[in-house]
Structure 1
Amino acid sequence: MTKRASSRRPAAATLAGVLDLIEPGILDVVVAPRGTEVPVSGVALYDLGDEPADGTALAGAILLAVGVDPHGPGAVEAVRAARRAGASALVLRRGAAGPDPAGPVDPAVPAAAAAGGIAVLTRRPGRGWTDVLGLLRNACAQSSPSELAAVDSLRPGDLSGLANTLADLVGGAITIEDPQSRVLAYSRMDHEPDPMRRATILNQEVPRWRVAELRESGFFRTLWATDDVVRLPADDRYAERLAIAVRDGGEVLGSIWAAADGHPLAPDAVAALRTAARAARPHLVHHETRGREEARRREEAVHTLLTGGAGAERAARTLGVHPDRPYAVIVVEAYERHPTRAAADAPTPAEQRVLDVLALQAAALRPGCVTARAGRRLFVLTPAGEAPADPARDLVATARSVPGTVVFAGVGPLAHRPAELPGAREEAEIVVRVLRERAAAAGVSVSVSASALSVDVVSEAALVRLLDRVEPLWPMAGPVHAMVEHDRLHGSEYSASVGAYLAAFGDTPAAARGLSVHPNTLRYRLRRARELFGVDLDDPTGRLLADIGLRLAHRAHE
């Protein structure tokens, strides 16, 4: 049934109204001293170590106490801090399972909440903080007043309907954009649009040169820094425009742009656009939440498809992967400095930035390309055939535009059916390991981004697999181990000398030049390595074991 527009202003959002819009079982009310009809202004992540000087910014908010132990003393302090901030409710992680919702928190929490008039809720296991944040934000937006009766009748997230409604309100042509200047919706065109509006709508984004022009002029800096309307005067090219950011708390969800549509904007267009921004907030929150959920499902499908096992067929259908079409798997690792940290480590801001850039670039490889993240890794699944012969090379070239980062990209063998994708992913990961080890061997000062196909590193990849299998069986005692440990404790150079000799195939003068020592110095070190530790380089078996041992020792200290 279509909801009839009402001229009466709806009541403000309440905690009860928000909880009614969330699936039962996700949040439990531990205590609500003032009941659940308390007004709610929004939801926020609250860092207890950075408490605001006054409570105005968080007044009425639902605060998520991320990282707070529900059984520790920090839980009680979180309740007190929420009260000082003027919040309506605090959400804690639910502790050990139990039939009583109040049991899994510190017993002092309900008493502190009652004294402060703060509702305390617990998040049940199985839903992460990111999911809960999105659910609460969406529920808050849906239960908040829209300020426009016409907007009340729109389906949540109906951005096209919203654009047309706002066009009638403002008296101009409306475009709704995301923070990256991509078009989310636009109003109907009653008159011929100016060239900029036409290009923006046709390309579904503001032309890149225009974005750069507005950024350099400081327009975007002003737009994102204010809650008010920003005016872009008319010039000899384009009509006047008004723009306003749409926010949810401190986060910018997008912007609304109004342009003259065959006649000048009305005198009250600025005031109307302010109202439009407030009315648009719940719709953009719904759009963003739905988009994040869809992106999360697609990422999970990519991971499922690349690891194989149960659910792989369904994941292929979700992603539109054709069973009779070949696909290439690319694995990318990004590092801000020398590549010594684990691939699963959380990326730094610079590494996150380059991964964002590469994910966008990967999507441009060809239609049907999908990506997924894991730590500092980006996985790219792209249809083969019309794609570049070395698709990773383009990604590395793009990565060089982000200064201070090093990127390694490996391409596995083509997978001709979905069941072959996990093997292609493993091969691509080994290619990346080979590139990373090359960089580590070359030294910090010469680490540069690189890419390779699996066919380019066959020998080195085989060695990586061999060492993977030998490593668990390798004894933690023996000649090489004793030599490496001696170097570590005494600062000697026996391991480096043996390694240089082996790398030079027994050419002592060449190995000495690589170490910047006299050949006689190297001969002395090799003789002492045999006398002290039993490392005999005259014996073929001894040379093989020394080479394997040094490679494994290098792995252990990376």
Structure 2
Amino acid sequence: MPAHEPDRNDAWPSLEQLLGLIAPGMLDVVVAPRGTGVEVADVVLHDPGEERDDDGAWAAPGAILLAVGVEVASPDAIDVLRDAERAGAAAVVLRRGSRGPRTALVEAAGRGRTALLTRRPGQRWAEVLGQLRTALVHSAPARSAGVDRTAGTAGSDGAAGSDGSDGLRLGDLSGLANTVADLVGGAITIEDPQSRVLAYSRMDHEPDPMRRLTILGQEVPRWRVVELRESGFFQALWGTDDVVRRPADERSAERLAIAVRHGSEVLGSIWAAADGRPLAEDAAAALRTAARAAVPHLFHHRTWGRAATGAREDAVHALLKGSVRAAHDLGVVPGRRYAVLVAEAHDSEDSGAAFAAGQRVLDVLALRAAAYRPGCVTARSGRRLYVLVPAGDGETDPARALPATVRSVPRSVVFAGVGPVVADLSALPASREAAELVVRVLRERAATLPAAEVVSAVAGYAEVGADAALLRLLDGVEPLWESLAGPVHAMVEHDRVHGSQYGDSVAAHLDAFGDTARAAQRLGVHPNTLRYRLRRARDLFGVDLADPTVRLLADIGLRLARRTAEDGPAGRSR
């Protein structure tokens, strides 16, 4: 046995167990000279610069080494394998690449004690590391923490027992919340370190106002977070492994909270609230056990939950761009009718706070979409949310009622466009493009209003068909217009350089169909001032509005100039 090989420890999982817990196909076993029953104590990155002993070796007993950047066909692969052997590693993982391992590498691995694994193409090292560590946390600490390894709930310390079944599925935070709620005799909320709700227990009684606000908003209200921080409550919570109590007040019942941590890392917290009855006498003890039991679940959520969410959103975007193959992964049914809704968060100021507020609005809308009807799928992209909404038989506007739900979010403005219902998944890109055009129309209409008058709006393509067609026309004309020169171009450039208002004056005159008094009122100037500007536009640039051709060109050019000034190219493509 190499000097660095660990003593046998029944708490360590086997390589086979870990491979069974990570995503199928992520890693392949090339050679396992001792079989896959070898124990794994840790997962670490292979670091050639790591401090070594006098013999030139470094210790990683029982570890899986991830050799980031080393391909299995590389000449360096044998050196990495030998390094792993000297360190007492259980396995080493190399990138597979387009070629297989060299014969010399396979033979060297067969003569040694360290298993040789390869990472499949398309997998990221960060995901491999995260999933292996999650699987290790799920498996290794179970016996020492008094937690049933399969259930993820309390075990031998008596606060809760395994019923002999498989228990909770790894990552089932809602199931964990309900289990803990039964133990403490109250309502449970599981939060991440930023006070966002990850799961909550079923509600057997009417929740107190604070719990209701937290669940509806999917996070603790910001003012409450500030209050807890300034009172020192969070400092106490994050600074101890024990339960922290917050007495009842006029807004909330008594709370018990405990941090969920793995070593020095805080993964989140569990909160227990009195739910129509006093908390159980041993509620604090149950929370201590629950905090240990929650570690693998929160690790799983953080690592796999984010990866799964990202992969699902990527599949939605692929489907909306025409990749019908993505439908299978989403549960989208071929032959069923769907419509695409696009919602865009609007703000009147470009700031970090405004962006964060917009993201919260989209979070709420995504949550409502999931509950709106079975089969809804969503994906985010910047300030936009895409929702694929299934339509019932004969239903022509399945998404109409969905955007209205965000009006319950204070100080929020959302523009939502609904594309036509399509019967073929290959037609979804057309529905998406139509919905995006509707959003652009609503945004351009809002740009003409005072900020105080801008409100949420939802429309279907047929309702704004003329404006949408004009946007398509301008999109096509814009590249050609930018390559030309003429009177309108000269006027727009003069306004840009000198800050004059000839273009605004001409546009107002055109919009008012030549009614000088109405156009002047819209501009807030005297009619004679407007007449003077129009004469100067004719004399300086040749923009003669008595000529029908010039009027047409002026209308097109000034519309393009306004859209460029308001949105910019990036804004139009959002």
Aligned to 1:380, the other structure's residue is in SS state strand
Equivalent runs, 1:280-295 vs 2, <5 Å: 280-295=294-309
Maintained 8 Å contact 1:27/1:124: no
TM-aligned CA distance change 1:548 to 1:134, over 3 Å:
farther
Deviation at 1:433, TM superposition (A): 0.6
Q: Distance in 2 between matches of 1:354 and 1:177?
A: 31
Aligned residue in 2 for 1:359: 366
- Given the two structures, how large is their TM-score scaled by the length of structure 1? 0.66
Deviations, residues 279-319 of structure 1 (Å, cap 9, x unaligned): 4312331244333333223212211111103xx13x22222
Q: Distance in 2 between matches of 1:101 and 1:189?
A: 54
Q: Distance in 2 between matches of 1:410 and 1:228?
A: 50
TM-aligned CA distance change 1:485 to 1:443, over 3 Å:
farther
Deviations, residues 94-113 of structure 1 (Å, cap 9, x unaligned): 799x95889xxxxxxxxxxx
Do residues 430 (structure 1) and 425 (structure 2) align? no
TM-aligned CA distance change 1:212 to 1:283, over 3 Å:
closer
Partner AA of 2:346 in structure 1: Y
Deviation at 1:424, TM superposition (A): 0.1
Q: Distance in 1 between matches of 2:490 and 2:338?
A: 47
Aligned to 1:557, the other structure's residue is in SS state helix
Aligned residue in 2 for 1:391: 399
Q: Choose the corresponding residue for 1:162, options 139, 152, 158.
A: 152
Maintained 8 Å contact 1:302/1:371: yes
Maintained 8 Å contact 2:154/2:162: no
Q: Distance in 1 between matches of 2:180 and 2:337?
A: 42
Q: Distance in 2 between matches of 1:95 and 1:549?
A: 57
Q: Choose the corresponding residue for 1:506, options 514, 530, 534.
A: 514
Deviation at 1:185, TM superposition (A): 5.2
Unpaired runs of 5+ residues, structure 2, are 1-7, 29-43, 53-57, 78-93, 96-118, 189-199, 215-219, 567-574
TM-aligned CA distance change 1:286 to 1:486, over 3 Å:
same
Partner AA of 1:430 in structure 2: L
Aligned residue in 2 for 1:462: 469
Maintained 8 Å contact 2:435/2:461: yes
Q: Distance in 1 between matches of 2:48 and 2:22?
A: 18
Q: Choose the corresponding residue for 1:37, options 40, 60, 74.
A: 60
Deviation at 1:320, TM superposition (A): 2.0
Deviation at 1:556, TM superposition (A): 2.3
Q: Distance in 1 between matches of 2:421 and 2:562?
A: 32
- Given the two structures, how large is their TM-score scaled by the length of structure 2? 0.64
Partner AA of 2:149 in structure 1: L
Do residues 332 (structure 1) and 343 (structure 2) align? yes
Equivalent runs, 1:42-191 vs 2, <5 Å: 131=127, 134-135=130-131, 138=134, 141-142=137-138, 145-146=141-142, 148=144, 151=147, 154-155=149-150, 161-163=151-153, 165=155, 168-169=158-159, 182-184=174-176, 186-187=178-179
Deviation at 1:203, TM superposition (A): 5.6
Do residues 524 (structure 1) and 532 (structure 2) align? yes
Do residues 255 (structure 1) and 270 (structure 2) align? yes
Deviations, residues 59-109 of structure 1 (Å, cap 9, x unaligned): xxxxxxxxxxxxxxxxxxxxxxxxxxxxxx9x999799x95889xxxxxxx
Deviation at 1:509, TM superposition (A): 1.2
TM-aligned CA distance change 1:140 to 1:446, over 3 Å:
farther
Superposition RMSD in Å: 5.2
TM-aligned CA distance change 1:94 to 1:497, over 3 Å:
farther
Aligned residue in 1 for 2:387: 380
Kindly tell me the number of residue pairs found equivalent between the two proteins.
458
Q: Choose the corresponding residue for 1:487, options 475, 483, 495.
A: 495
Unpaired runs of 5+ residues, structure 1, are 1-6, 41-88, 103-120, 156-160
Maintained 8 Å contact 2:155/2:162: no
Aligned residue in 2 for 1:323: 334
TM-aligned CA distance change 1:196 to 1:373, over 3 Å:
closer
TM-aligned CA distance change 1:498 to 1:39, over 3 Å:
farther
Do residues 274 (structure 1) and 274 (structure 2) align? no
Q: Distance in 2 between matches of 1:429 and 1:167?
A: 57
Q: Distance in 2 between matches of 1:93 and 1:348?
A: 36
Aligned residue in 1 for 2:32: none
Q: Choose the corresponding residue for 1:369, options 364, 367, 376.
A: 376
Aligned residue in 1 for 2:108: none
- Comparing 269-278 with 424-433, which one deviates more in the overlay? 269-278
Deviations, residues 215-237 of structure 1 (Å, cap 9, x unaligned): 799799558934421458999xx
Partner AA of 1:255 in structure 2: I
Q: Distance in 1 between matches of 2:204 and 2:345?
A: 30
Work out the percentage of aligned pairs sharing the same amino acid.
Answer: 48
Partner AA of 1:373 in structure 2: R
